[in-house]
Amino acid sequence: MSSWRDFAVAAALGVMSVAALPGSAAARPAIWSQPQAPFRIVGDIYYVGSKGLAAYLLVSPQGDILLDGTLPENAPMIERNIAALGFRIRDIRILLNSHAHYDHAGGLTRLKADSGAVMMASDGDRWALEHGASRGDNTASIPGYPKVQVDQTVADGQTVRLGPLAMTALLTPGHTPGCTTWITEVAEQGRRLNVVFPSCFTVAGNVLIGNQAYPRIAADYRSSFNRLGALKADVVLPAHPEFADLLRRQARAKAGDTAAFIDAGQLPRLVAASKADFEKALAAQAAKTPGNASLGPQP
């Protein structure tokens, strides 16, 4: 799910114009479904998503892992991107998800059917994925999406392995109850690089105070910012590519910059901007909810 808040964060990061504010799901940004030529990022990680929604393919001789399916209607585009790189959809053995919202999980059903892959997700997002819905009280109308069966759940700190590939789950709930940040390591030009795939951390219409379906939402956001802030990332690959300026980095890489995707300052900037936006939204909701002084800004 993305809302004006996602875009406010992106704007705060200086990566896009605030003119692109979607008011509702009906006004979803055009770039979410615009084709993007796939490209290698670092190591054996490839970008196979649309211009505005990321899907990442990790390849190995023992099979591939795909993180996120983006929108339901984007699944054929992702499959074309994988084929254009010379990889086969049937080689995907494992499907992962950043979080259970239609703009990141919507394409998974079709991708699962076409690949025969095993779907792995956190317990916190399992229900939502299996119901094609989102969980928790939200003031925006978040669209549904095709249900996808979760074959295996992943716990916090668990590493999903496939041949040489290893993706470790860091649970970072808040935006959804099962938001999962994935972490891996790659070799690139003789260097080991920490690669972090942050889930979403925007408020995006979430009710932060008195959320009946997800009472601990505000505490979860804060602990997730702390967990994410403690990570060291050489390369940041978010669910929304603009949050790490990914396509501009790709343009620089194409022009010969061999370190275009490497930026140790990217994750701290993303965490700081997201956290500031969250605290602002929480304060605004607290101001409308008398008796919630205990929810003031975190020291």
Distance CA 176, CA 232 (A): 23
Dihedral sign of CA atoms 27, 33, 37, 39 in order: positive
Near Zn ion by CB under 5 A, which window of 1-9, 76-84, 85-93, 146-154?
Answer: 1-9
Mapped onto helix, strand or coil, the DSSP state of residue 285 is: helix
> Rounded to 5 degrees, what are φ and ψ at 64?
-120, 160
CB 164 within 8 A of CB 201: no
**Which residue, 203 or 282, has its beta carbon nearer to Zn ion?**
203
Binds Zn ion (CB under 5 A): choice among 1, 150, 246, 281: 1
Near Zn ion by CB under 5 A, which window of 31-39, 101-109, 187-195, 252-260?
Answer: 101-109
Number of residues that bind Zn ion (CB under 5 A): 3
Provide the minimum distance between the beta carbon of 205 and Zn ion in the complex, in angstroms, as a whole number.
10
Interface with Zn ion, residue 101, by CB under 5 A:
yes
Near Zn ion by CB under 5 A, which window of 53-61, 197-205, 216-224, 244-252?
Answer: 197-205
Residue type, 188: E
Distance CA 5, CA 20 (A): 11
**Segment holding 111, helix H or strand E:** helix 108-115
Distance CA 198, CA 98 (A): 8
Residue type, 22: P
Near Zn ion by CB under 5 A, which window of 111-119, 192-200, 215-223, 250-258?
Answer: 192-200
Near Zn ion by CB under 5 A, which window of 63-71, 98-106, 251-259, 274-282?
Answer: 98-106
Interface with Zn ion, residue 135, by CB under 5 A:
no
Longest pairwise C-alpha distance within the chain = 59
**Which residue, 43 or 177, has its beta carbon nearer to Zn ion?**
177
**Which residue, 101 or 275, has its beta carbon nearer to Zn ion?**
101
Per-residue mark of binding to Zn ion, 207-236 (x: CB under 5 A): ------------------------------
> Rounded to 5 degrees, what are φ and ψ at 204?
50, 45
**Which residue, 43 or 178, has its beta carbon nearer to Zn ion?**
178
Mapped onto helix, strand or coil, the DSSP state of residue 252 is: helix
Provide the minimum distance between the beta carbon of 202 and Zn ion in the complex, in angstroms, as a whole number.
7
**Which residue, 1 or 195, has its beta carbon nearer to Zn ion?**
1
Distance CA 12, CA 269 (A): 10
Interface with Zn ion, residue 45, by CB under 5 A:
no
Binds Zn ion (CB under 5 A): choice among 105, 111, 200, 228: 200
**Which residue, 36 or 206, has its beta carbon nearer to Zn ion?**
206
Strand (E) positions, 136-208? 152-154, 159-162, 165-171, 180-188, 191-197
**Which residue, 120 or 200, has its beta carbon nearer to Zn ion?**
200
Q: Which of 241, 220, 262, 248 is nearest to 68 (CA)?
A: 241
Provide the minimum distance between the beta carbon of 91 and Zn ion in the complex, in angstroms, as a whole number.
28
**Which residue, 140 or 150, has its beta carbon nearer to Zn ion?**
140
Distance CA 257, CA 74 (A): 30
Q: Which residues bind Zn ion (CB under 5 A)?
A: 1, 101, 200
